[in-house]
Amino acid sequence: MSTAESSHGRTVITERAIERVVRAVTAEQFGVQAKAVSADLTDAGGRLDLAVRTPIRVVPISRVHEDADAIRRSGGSIVDRAQHGEATIADRVSEITGSTVSRLSLRFTSADIAKERRVR
């Protein structure tokens, strides 16, 4: 065996590491803390099935009444953000881990109502 052949090995990413990646990517996508996100992973013939539960940050209704653009600035409606979020999470998890996400089930557990910061 040559030196080049013996230097090649195998890289294994543990389920726990992938779960942490899923939680971090989801938290970033929906503006919440990673510790508030939970994820279950299932190996589906070498591909990942993900079941993710997360809160979602939303603007207060009072703010929407004051400024119709508040929803657009927050990323759109919850339905729009969910659809975009599913695709983004699957793509980012695949990019970071090298695993193919075959299915992603996303469930919002609560709304984190945060005031929109005003630029001065």
With tokens 């992938």, the residue in question is 18
How many structural domains compose the chain? Answer: 1
Model confidence pTM above 0.85:
no
CA angle at 94 for the pair 93 and 99, rounded to the nearest 5°: 115
How do residues 42-101 score in pLDDT, each as one tens digit?
Answer: 988 889 999 999 999 888 888 878 887 888 888 888 999 999 999 999 999 999 999 999
How do residues 82-92 score in pLDDT, each as one tens digit?
Answer: 999 999 999 99
> In which domain, by residue range, is 29 found?
12-113
Report the pLDDT value the prediction gives residue 120, as an integer from 0 to 100. 55
In a domain, 2, yes or no: no
In a domain, 120, yes or no: no
In a domain, 119, yes or no: no
Residue 2 has pLDDT above 60, yes or no: no
In a domain, 19, yes or no: yes
What span, in angstroms and rounded, lies between the C-alpha atoms of 78 and 84?
10
Q: What percent of the chain has pLDDT over 70?
A: 88
In a domain, 69, yes or no: yes
In a domain, 1, yes or no: no
In a domain, 96, yes or no: yes
In a domain, 67, yes or no: yes
CATH for 42: 3.30.70
Report the pLDDT value the prediction gives residue 69, as an integer from 0 to 100. 86
